[in-house]
Amino acid sequence: MQLAETELENRSSTGTPNWYALFTRYQHEKSVTLSLSNKSYEVYLPLYRCVRRWQDRAKQLWLPLFPCYMFIREGMDRQLQILTTPGVIHIVKWGGQPAIVPQAQVDAVRQIIASGLLVETHPYLQCGDRIRVKTGPLMGLEGILTRKKGVTRLVVSIEMLGRSAAVDIDVLNAERIGRFPAPKLSHRFSASA
């Protein structure tokens, strides 16, 4: 009976399994993803392409969009199995409970990655214009509008992680839908396992 109640708590209001975030050792995101995938967990590690240049060569790399973080779907009834996976430091928690990452935020990150546009990590923002993209591969996506060296960008955030990703957009292709809400009190997620 207890297990059935836990499984129901781990589902969103639509009945689909929830996403959670894991904090990993630096540069262990890919190995943790592979290990958990081999244990039959549904995992998601958003990667972006970048080119690193050295004096004698340039190399294309695939790096985690949110360094030290990855996502796992369900599995909170088997936390010990997750936490004993080499490279996992802890499950991101809020109020002592595993923090649920909203499906819409995971979908927004997936849409950015699938768009084929230039994507890179971006500092997390807490203020600015909130926009919606009107046309193109990112149509319907909402986020925060920023400018960097004269280029307009859409920033999509995973709020509970305090992490963001940015993609270049044409400002004429966006409509303002409001202001990003001001931060409330200084609440942060619990870093304890």
Considering the domain architecture, whether residues 74 and 164 belong to the same structural domain is answered as no
CATH number, position 114: 2.30.30.30
Considering the domain architecture, whether residues 14 and 95 belong to the same structural domain is answered as yes
Considering the domain architecture, whether residues 53 and 114 belong to the same structural domain is answered as no
Confidence (pTM) = 0.69
* Bridge partners for 163 per DSSP: 158
Residue 188 lies in a domain: no
The tens-digit pLDDT sequence of the chain (193 residues) is 443 444 445 566 667 899 999 999 999 999 999 999 999 999 999 999 988 888 888 899 999 999 999 999 988 999 999 999 999 999 999 999 999 999 999 999 999 999 989 888 875 644 467 888 988 999 999 998 888 887 888 999 888 888 999 999 887 788 888 765 544 444 444 444 4
Considering the domain architecture, whether residues 43 and 97 belong to the same structural domain is answered as yes
Among candidate residues 69, 101, 133, the one where a domain is terminated: 101
Q: Please tell me the total count of domains within the chain.
A: 2
Rounded Cα distance, 26 and 69, in Å: 9
Among candidate residues 101, 118, 153, the one where a domain is terminated: 101
189-192: long-range contacts, CB 8 A cutoff, minimum separation 24: 189/92, 189/93, 189/94, 189/99, 189/160, 189/161, 190/93, 190/94, 190/95, 190/96, 191/23, 191/90, 191/93, 192/90, 192/93, 192/96
Residue 170 lies in a domain: yes
Report the half-sphere exposure of 76 (CA within 13 A, side-chain side).
26
Q: What is the pLDDT of residue 160?
A: 86
Considering the domain architecture, whether residues 20 and 80 belong to the same structural domain is answered as yes
Backbone angles phi, psi at 118, to 5 degrees: -65, 120
Considering the domain architecture, whether residues 38 and 84 belong to the same structural domain is answered as yes
Considering the domain architecture, whether residues 96 and 109 belong to the same structural domain is answered as no
CATH number, position 22: 3.30.70.940
Considering the domain architecture, whether residues 38 and 81 belong to the same structural domain is answered as yes
Considering the domain architecture, whether residues 93 and 12 belong to the same structural domain is answered as yes
The residue segments making up the domain with residue 123 are 104-179
Considering the domain architecture, whether residues 11 and 49 belong to the same structural domain is answered as yes
Residue 186 lies in a domain: no
Among candidate residues 68, 101, 134, the one where a domain is terminated: 101
Considering the domain architecture, whether residues 110 and 171 belong to the same structural domain is answered as yes
| Helix%, strand%, coil% for the chain, nearest 5 | 25, 40, 35
Considering the domain architecture, whether residues 18 and 70 belong to the same structural domain is answered as yes
Q: What is the pLDDT of residue 14?
A: 65
Rounded Cα distance, 179 and 92, in Å: 27
Q: What is the pLDDT of residue 13?
A: 64
Contact 50, 87 (CB under 8 A): no
Residue 189 lies in a domain: no
